[in-house]
Amino acid sequence: MGLIGTDISLASKFLKQGEVVSIPTETVYGLAANAYNEAAVSKVFSIKQRPMSNPLIIHIGDIEQINEFVKEIPSEAVILAQHFWPGPLTLLLPKKATIPDMVTAGSNKVAIRIPNHPVTLQLLKTIPFPLAAPSANPFGYVSPTTTEHVKEQLGDKIPYILMGGTCAVGIESTIVGFEDGKTIVYRLGGLEIASIEKLVGTVILHNNLTASNPIEKLVTPGSLSYHYSPNKLLKLGNMSDLLVTYGSQKVGILAFDQYYEGVNKGQQILLAPTGKVEEAAYNLFAALRELDQLDIDVILCSLVPHQGLGMAINDRLVRASASRI
């Protein structure tokens, strides 16, 4: 079992040695390595059991650093970075050769963000390289939002988990790229679309998101490979229908802001007692992990209000409920 603590200089020491360290961010915990060190980056892939075809996000502490590894920056990207960094926004930009191809899985674009967490911002000041960091969960499973989550699954595979409390946003960053003067959203996340559109005008949702559009997905279930999934079967739909279908089994419910009748409250988790989607985002991944631990056969859930961060939550629910191929 590796160590867990608040020692930034120890985390820094491990990273300089080419080791992998879990770091807190405002979205989810990351599994970080020196982005310039291929041997260190390859450890991240193997610890996560992540396919090498799935690229990693680069984390930096200061916007100036971007010139070390980005070729040119569209004006929209500058505006968004200035407004939302540090924060839950990742920008896809043309990369220089300084970033190993392994980090971007061969793509000529690199994903970058400045995370908004005081501990990790402090850590980034102590190291002379950017950190490549995916979420600190085994590939395909629910992302971690506490050090406990990281410890349970990866604690014996890494030398250090840097503690930083519960992630304030709770859902991964929004990924934004630029093509032919258009702003494209590649992943819905902790920065809502409306905030981006206020600054750069209408954005386009990338195909991989329209494919996960909750409404379409419910019509053609199974069309997506799963992600963000608990080990238990998770079924998404209209709750009264689900309760009829799964009524003879032991069910757990991921509810939005109120409990459902007919199922023990001990087997239900409320995502947002106050009814706010931000609260639901904050609680989402911990709730899925908790339901996964209960003595139940199936987790039932419905879409949350499809606005603001609710869009990102619904995207995760659709993927988590996609059939495993």
- Residue ranges of the annotated binding site for ATP are 50, 54, 59, 135, 143, 187, 228
Q: Which of 116, 135, 229, 302 binds Mg ion (CB under 5 A)?
A: 135
Cα distance between residue 317 and residue 235, in whole Å: 9
Give 92 or 280: the residue with its C-beta nearer to ligand TXA.
Answer: 92
Q: If you search the block for the tokens 């990273």, which residue do you land on? A: 15
Environment class of residue 111 by beta-carbon count within 10 Å: exposed (0-12), middle (13-18) or buried (19+)? Answer: buried
Stretch that binds ligand TXA, among 54-62, 236-244, 271-279, 308-316 (CB under 6 A): 54-62
Tell me if 34 contacts ligand TXA by CB under 6 A. no
Q: Decide which of Mg ion, ligand TXA, none touches 34; Cβ closer than 5 to 8 Å per partner kind.
A: none
By C-alpha distance, which of 175, 143, 135, 179 is closest to 44?
135
Stretch that binds Mg ion, among 15-23, 113-121, 128-136, 189-197 (CB under 5 A): 128-136
* Strand blocks (E) in 17-152: 21-23, 30-34, 57-59, 89-94, 109-113, 131-132
3-class state of residue 286 by DSSP: helix
Q: If you search the block for the tokens 């709750």, which residue do you land on? A: 239
Cβ atoms of 65 and 93 within 8 Å: the answer is no
Binders of ligand TXA in range 169-188 (CB under 6 A): 172-173, 175, 186-187
Q: Which of 43, 109, 217, 316 binds ligand TXA (CB under 6 A)?
A: 109
* Number of residues binding to ligand TXA, judged by CB under 6 A: 24
Tell me if 30 contacts ligand TXA by CB under 6 A. yes
Task: Count how many Cα atoms sit within 13 Å of the Cα of residue 316 in the half-sphere of its side chain.
Answer: 27
Radius of gyration of the chain (CA): 19
Q: Which of 22, 25, 34, 145 binds ligand TXA (CB under 6 A)?
A: 25
The least CB distance from residue 116 to ligand TXA, in Å, is: 10
Instruction: Give the interface with ligand TXA as residue ranges (CB under 6 A).
Output: 25, 27-28, 30, 54-57, 90, 92, 104, 107, 109-111, 115, 133-135, 172-173, 175, 186-187
